[in-house]
Amino acid sequence: ACGFRFRVFSDGKRCSTSKVVRKPEVLPESKRQGTCQRKTFVQEQADRLEQANNSILIKCPQKVNQHQLLKSLERHGNIAHYHFFEPFVDGQLEGLVQHMQLTEEDIRLRFLVCSLLQDLCTAILPSVQIQPFGSSVNLFGRVGCDLDMFLDLGNLNIERKRTRVQRDSSLEFQVKMFRCERVATQTILSVVGNLLQHISPSFDSIQKVLNARCPVLRFCHSPSNLNCDLTASNRIALCMSETLNAFAQVDARVRPLVFAIRCWARAQNLTSTVSGAWITNFSLTLLVLFFLQQCSPSVIPTISHLRKLADRIDHRVIDSVNCTIVSDLSKITPSNNKQSLEDLLHGFFDFYGSFPFQKKSINIRTGQVQRRSDDSPMEIINPFEENLNVSKNVNKRQLLHFVELSQNASLKLEKQHQLSSNQSWGLMTLLQHGPTQQARATDGAASIHPTPKVERFTDLFHSLWSTKQGNPEAK
C-alpha cells in the first residue's frame, strides 16, 4: 500500500472512509499556520501535493471495524497519520450543528445582556428578574439568533406581600391598580422602553410592539449586536424552552435533525426573519419532534411520558396550566430506534409530504394525530395550552409550499438511494432549489423565492392584518 492508492468498495449503503498518510505530517510549531514563519502559497501547494501522493483512501464496509483494519494495515508498514471520516450524510448533519450552534461565549453573552437589563429594570421594579428563553437556551439556537427574554414579575406578588410599604414604587403601584394584566404588561414594557431609550446608550433601535397578542419590546444591544425581544410574565414559554431542551438531550439525533430541517426551510425560503403567514422555526421544531415520536420504535418520548416520570419537585402549574415535566433526564430510557440520520431525514420529508393536514392536527403531548379542532390550514397544538394552535399564522399557500418542498426533498433522497454506493451525496443537494422553483426563477422572474415576491407581500399584509385583529396564537 505504498505510493499508490486503492479503495475497498462495499455494497453497504453507509461506509466509513479512512485516510492513511504514510509520512509524518506534524510540522514544527513555527511552520504552522498563524505563526510568523508562514509557508508561501507555492510551498503550501507543493507540500499538499506531496502529502496527497503519499496517502491512500480506503472506503471500508460498515461491518469492518476501522481500528482492526488499521491494525492489519500496520503489518505492511508504518502509518504516520490517519483520519477517520464519518459517514457522509450523518457526518454532515452533525457538522452542521457544530458549525451553527451557539458557542459557550455566545451563551455567556446572552445571559450577561439579561443581567445588564435586569440591573436597569430594578430601578423601577426592585424584585424583577430577566430570564432568557427560546432558542438561546433550548439547545436549538444558532449563531445570530435573536435573544428572547421575559420580565419575570412572578416575584412581585410575593415581594409585595412581604414589604408592602418599602417597595411600593410607582410602577408596582400601577400594577396593583390595573385590573387587566395585559394593560399592566403594556405599561411596564412601555416604561422599560423609555428607560432604555433615555438612560442606556447600549440599547438602541427600540420598538414597542404593544398591541400584539403577546406585547413585546424589541431592541438591539449594540455592544453584543444581539437583537432582543422582551416580553413580560412569559413563564409558560420558559417551560416550553425547558421541554425542548430536554428533547434535545434525550437522543443525539434530535439536534442534527432539527438544525438540518431549519436550515433546509431557510434555504427554501419557507421561513423568514420577519414574522408573517409562513411557518416559524418553533413550529418546524415541533414538527420534527412529532415525527420522531411517530417512528417505530419512537426516537423520543411524548410530553405525557415526561410528565409521568416527574418527581414531586418537578410539579409546576402556571396560570392553571400544568407544565410539569421530569427534570432528571437520566430517568428517560434511551430509544431502541437505530435509524441513521439520513433515514430519519428522509422519513421526515416522506411523512410531511403526505400528511393529511386538512383533517388531522399534531400533538406532541400525546404523540398522536388528532381530529382538527379549528379551520386554519395547519394545526400544531400547543403542548401546554391545548386550545391554542401554534401554526395558526400559516396560510394555505405556505402550507402547500411546505408539503410540495417536502415531497421534492423526499424524491431527491430517493434518487440518491438508487445511485451506486460509491457515489456519495451531500446536504447541499437538499438546500438547492427544486426544478419548479428554478423554472420560476428563470421564467422571467428575478428572484428564486418559492413564492413570488408579490404573493409574499400579500401574505405579509394578511398576517399583519390578522395580528391586528387579534390572532389568538400569533406571537
In angstroms, give the least distance from the CB of 147 to Mg ion. 7
**CB nearer ligand GTP, residue 238 or residue 345:** 238
**CB nearer ligand GTP, residue 212 or residue 445:** 212
In angstroms, give the least distance from the CB of 67 to Mg ion. 42
In angstroms, give the least distance from the CB of 402 to ligand GTP. 16
Closest-by-Cβ residue to Mg ion is 134
Considering CB distances under 5 to 8 angstroms, the limit depending on partner class, which of ligand GTP, Mg ion, none binds residue 382? ligand GTP
CA angle, 322 then 251 then 335, to 5°: 90
CA distance 208 to 130: 18
Considering CB distances under 5 to 8 angstroms, the limit depending on partner class, which of Mg ion, ligand GTP, none binds residue 16? none
Beta strands in 167-268 (DSSP E): 203-209, 216-221, 226-232
CA distance 343 to 87: 13
Binding site residues, ligand GTP, CB under 6 A: 133-135, 138, 141, 145-146, 148, 237, 240-241, 280-282, 382, 388, 390, 473, 475
Cell, residue 214: 403577546
**CB nearer ligand GTP, residue 117 or residue 240:** 240
Would you count residue 272 as binding Mg ion (CB under 5 A)?
Answer: no
In angstroms, give the least distance from the CB of 70 to ligand GTP. 41
Coil vs helix vs strand at 349: helix
Site for Mg ion in 364-403 (CB under 5 A): none
In angstroms, give the least distance from the CB of 122 to ligand GTP. 24
CA distance 188 to 123: 13
Considering CB distances under 5 to 8 angstroms, the limit depending on partner class, which of Mg ion, ligand GTP, none binds residue 281? ligand GTP
Concatenated DSSP letters of 209-230: E-SSSS-EEEEEETTTTEEEEE
Would you count residue 146 as binding Mg ion (CB under 5 A)?
Answer: yes
At which residue does the C-alpha cell 408539503 appear?
403
Coil vs helix vs strand at 366: coil
Considering CB distances under 5 to 8 angstroms, the limit depending on partner class, which of ligand GTP, Mg ion, none binds residue 269? none
Which element (helix H / strand E) includes 132? strand 129-133
158-161 contact pairs (CB < 8 A, 24+): 158/127, 159/126, 159/127
**CB nearer ligand GTP, residue 89 or residue 287:** 287
CA distance 353 to 405: 8
**CB nearer Mg ion, residue 146 or residue 314:** 146
Instruction: Please say whether the dihedral angle defined by the alpha carbons of residues 104, 105, 111 and 115, taken in this order, is positive or negative.
Output: positive
In angstroms, give the least distance from the CB of 306 to ligand GTP. 16
Which element (helix H / strand E) includes 193? helix 181-199
In angstroms, give the least distance from the CB of 214 to Mg ion. 13
CB contact at 8 A, 451 and 271: no
Coil vs helix vs strand at 242: helix
In sequence order, the β-bridge partners of residue 85 are 17
CA 116 to chain centre: 26
Size of the site for Mg ion (CB under 5 A): 4
Site for Mg ion in 101-140 (CB under 5 A): 134-135
CA distance 142 to 255: 11
**CB nearer ligand GTP, residue 86 or residue 146:** 146
**CB nearer Mg ion, residue 230 or residue 345:** 230
On the CB side of 120, CA atoms within 13 Å amount to 20
**CB nearer Mg ion, residue 101 or residue 366:** 101
Give the type of residue at 264.
W
Closest-by-Cβ residue to ligand GTP is 134
In angstroms, give the least distance from the CB of 145 to Mg ion. 5
**CB nearer Mg ion, residue 22 or residue 142:** 142
**CB nearer Mg ion, residue 135 or residue 234:** 135
In angstroms, give the least distance from the CB of 381 to ligand GTP. 10
In angstroms, give the least distance from the CB of 229 to ligand GTP. 6
CB contact at 8 A, 270 and 278: yes
Choosing from 148, 152, 172, 342, the residue that interacts with Mg ion (CB under 5 A) is 148
Which element (helix H / strand E) includes 263? helix 254-267
In angstroms, give the least distance from the CB of 440 to ligand GTP. 26
**CB nearer ligand GTP, residue 241 or residue 451:** 241
Considering CB distances under 5 to 8 angstroms, the limit depending on partner class, which of ligand GTP, Mg ion, none binds residue 280? ligand GTP
CA distance 246 to 241: 9
Considering CB distances under 5 to 8 angstroms, the limit depending on partner class, which of Mg ion, ligand GTP, none binds residue 347? none
Q: Which residues here bind Mg ion, judged by CB under 5 A?
A: 134-135, 146, 148
